[in-house]
A and B are shown apart, each in its own frame.
Chain A
């Protein structure tokens, strides 16, 4: 199957449907936000983003922030407050033969880094962050929005929503999310994520229903609903207008026939080849592999600007499942992300001589990391310390920051260089999100994150 892209006329058609949704927004544009939008918008618009969520709280010691066992031997754990536990890892059936960290392109990476190690030269590993929480929901929402939640309730719009909003409404589904929370409190309705649980549901959303009425009958119903919508746009309830606009947009999307792009289970040779590249089972369209294939397709076919996917789960290893599950589950996620990178890097970008990976930033994150010491149940509990990686377009590869050599605590860094500096700042998710916004040319703090960007990671 030839790669299918939206023509400009089809985009215009879609925008006709989606534009109505953009006329009003959920709750409207807040005053400061609308002013910010007017004074600052993305100037570097050839940018795309994939947020890759590792669910459960990963252990960076096994992946992106390992420590050298020669420097931190178990005998000194009362001094270092650090217990690496690499010897305890159960390797049977994992395909791993060496349970210790290794160096890749000059960067020490954990034993379960998987194929992500092949992309070290394109990746910024950000270590020694602080997530300021030990609660899953709070950590996840903190990273997604760059703001500390109120209790468990997210405050502010997701970074993906901001990026989609600032990069414009040109795409039919600017913000797509599979199994990852998404928030929109102050951005236009069209920037709200289309949230699905799996690729099957996305397919169903893009296909006509099992019962479809005659076009002329449908047209009459649509005309009636359109008129109701227009009334509410003018002076009624914006939520009603948004709901009706979303309904119209859904019909436009169905009419586009986009579903065939995501039919990963089909026997089409192109789909068979794609399944091989992503190690994707045709019968499991809820897998991280299917979500990664969905992300690539949505970006490269001109459907989305930002895609959020869950690439790994089962990482909340408080017990001896840390020895058996943490590594393999984490590595599955790293392998999925590596496949995503490889696919993007194989597709030329609009005849520019660059690839889609050169224009796409991939962010890998979890809600927090795990304790430096192994608990009485042979597992690791929640740690305030965080780590993440950012790769691809606009990113300067390297290692930034460092978790401390005593207790793996966050450490302040110089935001310009990424070097540990007691006079610097402890990096938090909001520093990363501001850097992503700045990579699009948005220099003002439009999202009210109240920190400086982590400029060290930007190319």
Chain B
């Protein structure tokens, strides 16, 4: 039932597309087909170049790659307000840097930036540890909170839907740089994660927010670009 609901929410698979109508970077230069290049430069088949369909963005440009270890470590600490993946004071991403592809400048000089199985496993571990600490730290509701900014531990989608929506918007902007409107369909999958986690954990809203945090960090939009 829950999965069916999620399938419905994600139907169309547009979750990672830029919001319609929004563009980033400089405005494209508009040319008049009657005076632009297309009017006098045609391809071999006689099709005006100005009328050729643009390439599919997904096929254009370089393949996506992941952050390097230094970038990941800095990003993790930035979004969590300083919490990194540490065990007994040892920075685990530093500890695993060699295995995760950081060059040693003896045998290798370029960092391996493939999102490998090993990278994903340790990203998962990092997300679990940092989100556990982040939610525990912010559960008391301090003004300095960076994650639980618009909600308290008592808020659910039933009791305070606006607060939950506002916090999801805030989290997606903070973790993924994705500025979504309150009624954006992409928000629904994250709301589903929060609501259903709260439901299956017997009303534990902090577990719900921890799941959202882990989902945000382990989602490729966090570590890939």
Within 8 A of A (CB), among B184-225: 189-190, 192-193, 196-197, 200-201, 207, 210-211, 214-215, 218-220, 224
* Distance in angstroms between the alpha carbons of A195 and B100 in the assembled complex: 8
Within 8 A of A (CB), among B101-130: 101, 107-109, 112, 114-125, 128-129
**A239 and B117 contacting across the interface, CB-CB below 8 Å:** no
The residue from B6, B87, B115, B189 contacting A243, defined by CB atoms under 8 A apart: B115
**B107 and A55 contacting across the interface, CB-CB below 8 Å:** yes
What per-residue 1/0 map shows which CB atoms of A213-243 lie under 8 Å from chain B?
A: 1101101110111011011101111111011
**B112 and A227 contacting across the interface, CB-CB below 8 Å:** no
Check: A1 CB closer than 8 A to any chain B CB: no
Check: B39 CB closer than 8 A to any chain A CB: no
The residue from A179, A205, A221, A237 contacting B64, defined by CB atoms under 8 A apart: A237
**A249 and B16 contacting across the interface, CB-CB below 8 Å:** no
Say how far A32's CB is from chain B's closest CB, in angstroms. 19
**B128 and A234 contacting across the interface, CB-CB below 8 Å:** no
**B13 and A234 contacting across the interface, CB-CB below 8 Å:** yes
**B219 and A246 contacting across the interface, CB-CB below 8 Å:** no
Q: What B residues does A237 contact at CB under 8 A?
A: 16, 58, 63-64
Q: Find the B residue at minimum CB distance from A178.
A: B99
**B63 and A26 contacting across the interface, CB-CB below 8 Å:** yes
Check: B15 CB closer than 8 A to any chain A CB: yes
**B121 and A217 contacting across the interface, CB-CB below 8 Å:** no
Given contacts A197-B98, A236-B13, contact A224 B114 (CB under 8 A): no
**B117 and A246 contacting across the interface, CB-CB below 8 Å:** yes
What per-residue 1/0 map shows which CB atoms of A239-259 lie under 8 Å from chain B?
A: 110111011011101100000
Q: What B residues does A198 contact at CB under 8 A?
A: 99
**A216 and B193 contacting across the interface, CB-CB below 8 Å:** no
Q: How many B residues, CB 8 Å from partner?
A: 54
Check: A371 CB closer than 8 A to any chain B CB: no
Q: What B residues does A238 contact at CB under 8 A?
A: 63
* Distance in angstroms between the alpha carbons of A254 and B118 in the assembled complex: 11
The residue from A217, A242, A243 contacting B200, defined by CB atoms under 8 A apart: A217
**A217 and B207 contacting across the interface, CB-CB below 8 Å:** yes
**A240 and B224 contacting across the interface, CB-CB below 8 Å:** yes
**A246 and B115 contacting across the interface, CB-CB below 8 Å:** yes
* Distance in angstroms between the alpha carbons of A181 and B15 in the assembled complex: 36
Check: A459 CB closer than 8 A to any chain B CB: no
**A231 and B10 contacting across the interface, CB-CB below 8 Å:** yes
**B13 and A231 contacting across the interface, CB-CB below 8 Å:** yes
Given contacts A223-B3, A240-B220, contact A213 B129 (CB under 8 A): no
The residue from A196, A223, A234 contacting B118, defined by CB atoms under 8 A apart: A196
**B214 and A221 contacting across the interface, CB-CB below 8 Å:** yes
Check: A75 CB closer than 8 A to any chain B CB: no
Check: B77 CB closer than 8 A to any chain A CB: no
Q: What A residues does B120 contact at CB under 8 A?
A: 243, 246-247, 250
The residue from A27, A231, A250 contacting B63, defined by CB atoms under 8 A apart: A27
**A205 and B115 contacting across the interface, CB-CB below 8 Å:** no
Q: What B residues does A181 contact at CB under 8 A?
A: 107-108
Check: B66 CB closer than 8 A to any chain A CB: yes
Check: A130 CB closer than 8 A to any chain B CB: no
* Distance in angstroms between the alpha carbons of A247 and B117 in the assembled complex: 6
**B128 and A223 contacting across the interface, CB-CB below 8 Å:** no
Check: B132 CB closer than 8 A to any chain A CB: yes
**B128 and A224 contacting across the interface, CB-CB below 8 Å:** no
Given contacts A209-B124, A213-B128, A239-B63, contact A247 B218 (CB under 8 A): yes
Check: A279 CB closer than 8 A to any chain B CB: no
Given contacts A243-B66, A243-B220, contact A228 B10 (CB under 8 A): yes
Given contacts A223-B2, A243-B224, contact A235 B132 (CB under 8 A): no
**B128 and A242 contacting across the interface, CB-CB below 8 Å:** no
Main secondary structure of the interface of B (DSSP, over half): helix
**B64 and A240 contacting across the interface, CB-CB below 8 Å:** yes
Say how far A321's CB is from chain B's closest CB, in angstroms. 16
Q: Find the B residue at minimum CB distance from A179.
A: B107
Say how far A185's CB is from chain B's closest CB, in angstroms. 11
**A225 and B218 contacting across the interface, CB-CB below 8 Å:** yes
Check: A276 CB closer than 8 A to any chain B CB: no
Given contacts A227-B6, A243-B224, contact A192 B63 (CB under 8 A): no
Check: B137 CB closer than 8 A to any chain A CB: no
* Distance in angstroms between the alpha carbons of A29 and B7 in the assembled complex: 29
Q: What B residues does A195 contact at CB under 8 A?
A: 99, 101, 112, 116, 118
Check: B78 CB closer than 8 A to any chain A CB: no
Check: B96 CB closer than 8 A to any chain A CB: yes
**B132 and A227 contacting across the interface, CB-CB below 8 Å:** no
**B218 and A217 contacting across the interface, CB-CB below 8 Å:** no
What per-residue 1/0 map shows which CB atoms of A184-204 lie under 8 Å from chain B?
A: 000000001011111001001
Given contacts A239-B65, A240-B220, contact A194 B116 (CB under 8 A): yes
**A214 and B87 contacting across the interface, CB-CB below 8 Å:** no
Within 8 A of A (CB), among B56-110: 58, 63-66, 87, 96, 98-99, 101, 107-109
Check: A211 CB closer than 8 A to any chain B CB: yes
**B121 and A205 contacting across the interface, CB-CB below 8 Å:** yes
* Distance in angstroms between the alpha carbons of A243 and B119 in the assembled complex: 9
12 contacts between A and B (CB under 8 A): A197-B98, A209-B124, A209-B129, A216-B201, A220-B2, A230-B13, A238-B63, A243-B120, A246-B117, A247-B123, A247-B218, A250-B121
Q: Which positions in B face A, CB cutoff 8 Å?
A: 2-3, 6-7, 10, 13, 15-16, 58, 63-66, 87, 96, 98-99, 101, 107-109, 112, 114-125, 128-129, 132, 189-190, 192-193, 196-197, 200-201, 207, 210-211, 214-215, 218-220, 224
User: Given known contacts A195-B118, A205-B117, what 17 new A-B pairs fall within 8 Å (CB)?
Assistant: A137-B109, A179-B107, A210-B129, A213-B132, A216-B200, A217-B211, A221-B215, A224-B189, A224-B192, A225-B215, A225-B218, A227-B6, A227-B189, A231-B10, A237-B58, A239-B63, A243-B115
Q: What are the 6 tightest A-B residue pairs by CB atom distance, in nearest-first order?
A: A209-B125, A231-B13, A243-B115, A250-B121, A247-B120, A197-B99
Q: Which positions in A face B, CB cutoff 8 Å?
A: 26-27, 55, 136-137, 140, 152, 179, 181, 192, 194-198, 201, 204-205, 209-214, 216-217, 219-221, 223-225, 227-228, 230-232, 234-240, 242-244, 246-247, 249-251, 253-254
